[in-house]
Structure 1
Amino acid sequence: MGGVRGVSPVDPDEARRRILEELSRDEYRTGDGFVAWLLHLFDSLVARITADLPEATPVHWALLVLAAGVLALLVALVVRRTGWLRRSGALSVSAALDAAETADAAELRVRARTALDAGRHDDAVVLALRSLVRDLDERTLIEVSAGMTAREVAAGAARPFPDLHRRLEHAAAAFDTAAYSRRPVGAKPAQDAVRLVEYVAQTRPDLAEVDA
């Protein structure tokens, strides 16, 4: 299939690198900057497509669909990293895993247990994961980074606690549901998450895996 006039082929790896590099800029960490940039990107894509293909051909519609797909991918990526769609109405606690905590890991675990006992399952899971991050940070077992996800936390925690990798993955999935989904977390996932972080706090890490 021949190339479209005026559109140069782009290597997928290079395109991905450019997108991630662009999204790492500070102005895209705020809603206004990101929305303005995203609308400008979409307008540019549509303008280029319509300029090169003024008539409604199948290729024209295919490229418009592709542009819409790229837009959706970028939105999903940034929302995932920033947590803009967190269900603030359903949570009474912050879901930021990289928050500068004033509470230590032990206090966060107590708060997670209290939320669980009160039936606030979403809060319990979020507090449990935040306590895990704080615990690992206090023991210098993980490096906390801005915008880190629950799955990144689970992967980092699985190094000093390899036998718990499945339970950590399940806890990360429960966190994503509590923080991003409109579906509530059930009692069982919340209980599992709280018990997991309590167990981790009492377990000696495998430092050989951390230093490897």
Structure 2
Amino acid sequence: MDPDEARRKVLEELARGEYHRDQGFLPWLLGMLEDWLDSLTGGAGGASWVLIVLLAVVVLLAALSALAVLRRSGRMRRDTALSVSSRLDADPVLSAQELRRRARAAADEHRPGDAAVLGMRSLVRDLQERTLLDVAEGMTAHEAAEEASRAFPDVRTRLLRAAQVFDTAAYSRHHVDAKSAEDVVRLAEYLAEATPQLREPEPA
């Protein structure tokens, strides 16, 4: 297949409906790239392979961006590998005490993934009940851990580690080990009894 034929095949493939939702942006982008490359080569068609590489890079970057958005929003979940929801604000809204009870039960039943998720959810719910944390829609575990560390700075490292374990259980193909899940559950149990270090209001 010569370069011109290869370029035509790529343009036909990328112009199909599944690669874009509208009929404006992608054709315009492809046209701009093709015109630019042709201007560099005098329209001789020698830039076809460069166009293919650039198109591959654009598609890859778009896919990575979409993956990041889905992961941040919590819509890309491994709920099929868990028996519980991985959303921090999952419905029905359960009390922190009930979530801790379920987290402990999951750990005792050797379900570390469920235990880690329930442990983090109970931790977040507990801080929410105590008005120490405002859970916004789409909030990530790392955002919640950073916010919680303001009231509990002494356990900031443990909070961030718990968020990482939560992400592994909720989004990764890797399994959470029993010790990591137990650490999350114990942290939730500890914070339920701990006194926050609230900052004094600054003088006017």
Q: How much does 1:46 deviate?
A: 3.4
1:49 is matched with which residue?
Answer: 33
Q: Does 1:88 align with 2:76?
A: no
SS in 1 for 2:151: coil
List aligned pairs for 1:16-55, cutoff 5 A. Answer: 37=21, 44-54=28-38, 55=45
Q: 1:67 aligns with which of 51, 58, 73?
A: 58
Q: Does 1:199 align with 2:199?
A: no
In the alignment, the residues of structure 1 paired with residue 149 and residue 22 of structure 2 have an alpha-carbon distance, to the nearest angstrom, of 36
In the alignment, the residues of structure 1 paired with residue 149 and residue 156 of structure 2 have an alpha-carbon distance, to the nearest angstrom, of 5
What RMSD, in angstroms, separates the aligned Cα atoms of the two structures?
2.6
Please, which runs of 5 or more residues in structure 1 have no aligned partner?
Answer: 1-34
SS in 1 for 2:80: coil
Deviations 1:64-112 (A, max 9, x none): 2441343033112212123333222210000011234431000100000
In the alignment, the residues of structure 1 paired with residue 140 and residue 22 of structure 2 have an alpha-carbon distance, to the nearest angstrom, of 23
Check whether the contact 1:42–1:67 (CA below 8 A) recurs between aligned residues. Answer: no
Q: 1:149 aligns with which of 126, 129, 140?
A: 140
Amino acid at match of 2:165: A
Higher Cα Rg, which structure: 2
SS in 2 for 1:127: helix
Check whether the contact 1:45–1:67 (CA below 8 A) recurs between aligned residues. Answer: no
Check whether the contact 1:42–1:71 (CA below 8 A) recurs between aligned residues. Answer: no
Q: Percent identity?
A: 47
CA shift in 2, pair 1:152/1:126, >3 Å: same
CA shift in 2, pair 1:116/1:37, >3 Å: farther
Check whether the contact 2:106–2:115 (CA below 8 A) recurs between aligned residues. Answer: yes
Q: Does 1:111 align with 2:95?
A: no
Amino acid at match of 1:168: L
Q: TM-score, normalised by structure 2?
A: 0.76
Where do 4+ consecutive residues of structure 1 move more than 6 Å?
none
In the alignment, the residues of structure 1 paired with residue 184 and residue 50 of structure 2 have an alpha-carbon distance, to the nearest angstrom, of 49
Q: How much does 1:44 deviate?
A: 4.9
SS in 1 for 2:199: helix
Q: TM-score, normalised by structure 1?
A: 0.74
